[in-house]
Each structure stands twice: as C-alpha cells, then as structure tokens.
Amino acid sequence: MMEECRGRHRVDEVQAIIPMDGSSMWVNKYAPRTYMELLSDDGVNRNLMTWVKLWDECAFNRKFINTPKPTSAKEKDILTLDSGKPRRPTHKIVLLSGPAGLGKTTLANIVARQAGYAVVELNASDSRNIPDFEKALEGAARTSRTLDKSSRPNCLILDEIDGAPVEAIRYLVKAIQASGKKMIRRPIICICNSLYTPSLRDLRAIAFNIQLTPTTKERLVQRLSTIADLEEVRVDRFALQRLVELCQCDVRFSINTLQFVSVLAKNEQRFISSNDIQKAVERERVGSSSIFENWSTVLDFSHHFDKKGVLQPLPERLRMVERVAIERGDDRFVSGLHANYLSVNLPVKAMRAGAEAFIYYDRIMLAVNERQNYTLMKYLNVFYMLLHAYIATHTRAKLKFPQLEQATNMKRRESQETLATIQCTLHGRHSPCALLYDVLPLLVQIVQPSIKTVCEMNQQLYSRQELKEIDSVVTIMADYQLTFTPTIVNFQQQFLFQP
C-alpha cells in the first residue's frame, strides 16, 4: 500500500512539473524543422518531395525542367506528368499511411514548406460534411489565386482522412478527377493510419500510396541520445535502445517517455536505468497498474509471497488471481497470457494442461458469442485460476507484449476489404467462399505469366506467344477490374494489385 501511494505521489509530482500548454514538451521542442532532420526513410522523403515538385508548372508557373532520372524502372511512375496545360502529376493526390507516432504529419509539412508552399492543414475527421470539404478545396487547392501573404501557393494537407465520412471522401475523389476550370491546381496530401480502411477504397485506387514503416532503431536511438545530451539527462545508450524496443520505434511515445523518466531522475539526482524505462512504458500503456505485473500474477509466483518471503498457499493465490481476472479479464489480457505462458520451460504435462485451459476459455467465449448467453461469463474466472494452478512456477516468466495477434487481425481486415471490393465489381457473380478458395488463388497466378521484362515495353522484342499471353492478362484484369497501384513498401516502390 505504501509503495502504491509512493508511486502515485511520484506520478503526480511529474505531472505538476511538466507544463500542460505543451511549450516545454520535448516532442514539440525537438520536432524536425528542416528536411535533413526528418527521421523517416530517405527514399520515402525523396519520393514525396519529387511528387510535390511535379506541381511546379501548375503552382509556380514554371516548367519542371530538371526532371531527376528514376533510380529504378518502378520509380518512373511517380515522375510522370500528364499532357494537360498546365501539366500536373499523373497521380493528383498522395495517400500517406502508417501507424501513429511515425511523423507522417511532420513529413508532409516539412516537404511542402521545403518545396515553397504555404501549408493549409485540415483535420478531415473533424469535417463531417461535404460543404467543409468543398470550402477547403475551393480555398486551398482548386483556384490558381490561392496565395498567402508571402505570395506562396497553398498545399492542402488532410489529416486523419480515414476518419472522414464516406460521402466526403467520394466528393474528394470526384474533385480530384475533375477537369477544366474545376480541376485541382495545388498538391493535396492525405494522411491516415490504415491504408485499408473501407472508406478509403475509392481514394486508394487513384492516389499515389506511400506507406511509412517504423523509423530504424539506430536512427531513433541517435535522436534520443542527442535530446538527452541537450537536456543534460544522464542515460546510457543501452537504456535508450531498450526504450526504443519497448515503444516499438514510436517516435512520439519514445520522446514523451524519456521526458517523463528524466524528470524523476533529475529530482532524485540519479542515472536513468533500463528498469526505469521499463516501468515508465508499462505505466503509460495501462495506467497506474501494470499489465505485465498482472500477467506475472497468473503465470508465476513472484507476486505471491508474504512479508516473510513464504509462498502463500494455493487458495490465497487463486483469490489474488481472481481479483486480477475481474480487473483485467479482457481479450488483450488473455492474448498476453497465451503469448507468454510458454516463456518458461515447463514439463509436457503442464504445457498440455495449460493448452486445455485455453481450450476451455475458447469454448465458453464461442458459446457466449454464438448464443448470446452471457450468463456463462461468470465461469471465465475459472480459466485464470486453472492456468495458474497448472503452470505457475518459481521461475519468473520473460514477458513481452503480444504483437502477432494484432498483426494477424490487421492482415485479416485487409484481406476482407480486398475480397469485398472484388465481389462488388463482379455484382455477386461469385460467393465470397468461391472467390476465396476457387477463383483468387488461381487468378493471381494467371495474371502474372512467366514472360521476360523488357524495358520501355518494346513490343517488337516479344514473341507472338508472349503478346498473346499479355492480351489475355489484360482482358482478365479488365473483367475483374484489377489494376496496379504504385505503393511505397519497406522503403521501395512496388506495384501492387488494386484491389
């Protein structure tokens, strides 16, 4: 109890020291100000800058003469200008996607300013109707007279576009495809967390898609080390590496956590250790109590000793486990138990008993979800107690936050979205099961024939049989409304199927 009160006092102390106006928040104080300070991949930065510069003829009334040579054949697509007057990029909009905390908005702002634009930023999730979008487009991107006080043209940045209503996104797509006097005359950069949000289906098909991946550990550790030196924080590189790992290369989360820990360390005039980092990350993720400690309560004996260091009897331990289950008994908590219960070497008999406990949990949840019989939920606490009784040992479990299930769920949502899109184009010609098991696996192979790749697509270098195969592929892709969309994946541009 005293330890808990002491911990709350320390948290309150930190919150009292850090100003709430954000003026001294390190994440704002040390945010990148120039292109060279960006933490995102250089290839991604360069591709976005190239696309923005392709608007020079339309926005600045100057020809884009110094066209950089593409580093690969795949990058040629983003360097293409249309044949209109004035010329604009082939892709009139960029869709910048990636997890929160990677610096997507910062990247878009810096690239736009570096290219000479005045940034007009709009949170799309706050604009809930079409008039808001129409006003933003008309004022920032559609007219050639959109200049700020410094006579700079505007660049419209639509943040959180995946939170905008479907009707607004459809209006945006229609506006981008417009021609003549209603055509878009300024670059538009859309930002989202998930590229495969269902509402972005139409926008994704016409946009140049750039997916940001987490910043490299080495680059983020170096930036944190620089911040620590400037703020005179005593921390070693190993602790910073541990911080980056626990935060999963989330730039915002890493910097905020370092500032939080540094306040405590400065008050106590001590060195920041990896243990301090671990505790801060755990508290930030789950609040005042640590989910890692709750997992440990179920999986080992480390939290079941009395004041004399004697292991408590089984009934007392089960009562503590039951309290944890009542407080933390959600899907994420069970996922963590499943991901960590084999982190300790157990006898085969114990592993079998643990697996049977998870089967028991799955059966109850299946009955609850299928029959809507929520009276069975009261028996779930038995699962946690069985798991503790079967597998808990004196060896402390090496706990980690579950990531596989989250990645699997995201991949499943992407696959479901792709399946639904194709089914809509076929007007119900095939059932979802038929598409999934009979059509799509073979279709992917059919539309990728084994023919040689010829630069500049010189038809004279193809044989008659190869030309026949290409015509067949084009016919099939047109029938299923398939196309290729340039997308930045793992710092390289790839042409991916759309949908």
Q: What is the pLDDT of residue 2?
A: 37
Q: What's CA 122's distance to the chain center, in Å?
A: 20
Interatomic CA distance for residues 142 and 414, integer angstroms: 33
Q: Is the pLDDT of residue 440 over 80?
A: yes
Distances (CA, A) of 342 to 100, 224, 347, 350, 408: 31, 34, 10, 10, 20
Mean pLDDT in residue range 161-185: 84
CA atoms within 13 A on the CB side of 492: 8
Supply angle C-alpha 17, 19, 20, rounded to 5: 130
Residue 349: band (very low, low, confident or very high) from pLDDT cuts 50, 70, 90: very high
Q: What is the pLDDT of residue 22?
A: 40
Give the separation between CA 129 and CA 258, rounded to whole angstroms.
40
Residue 1, Cβ neighbours under 10 Å: how many? 5
Pairwise CA distance, residues 22 & 436, whole Å: 50
User: For domain 31-211, which CATH number applies: 1.10.10.10, 3.40.50.300, 3.40.50.150, 3.50.50.60?
Assistant: 3.40.50.300
Domain boundaries, the chain: 2-27+216-288, 31-211, 292-391, 414-485
**271-278 long-range contacts, Cβ below 8 Å, gap at least 24?**
271/234, 271/235, 271/236, 272/233, 272/234, 272/235, 272/239, 273/239, 274/238, 274/239, 274/242, 276/239, 277/239, 277/242, 277/243, 277/246, 278/242, 278/246
**Arithmetic mean of pLDDT, 43-63:** 86
pLDDT in tens, 281-340: 766 654 445 677 788 889 888 888 876 778 889 988 998 888 888 877 788 889 889 988
Q: pLDDT of 391-405, one tens digit each?
A: 998 887 778 877 777
Say what the pLDDT of residue 449 is: 78
Cis check: omega of the bond before 165, within 30 degrees of 0: no
For the segment 465-481, the average pLDDT, to the nearest whole number, is 83
Per-residue pLDDT at 359: 94
Q: Cα Rg for the chain, rounded, in angstroms?
A: 28
On average, the pLDDT of the chain sits at 79
Under CATH, which number does the domain 2-27+216-288 receive?
A: 1.10.8
Higher pLDDT, 328 or 475: 475
Tokens of 397: 């479990």
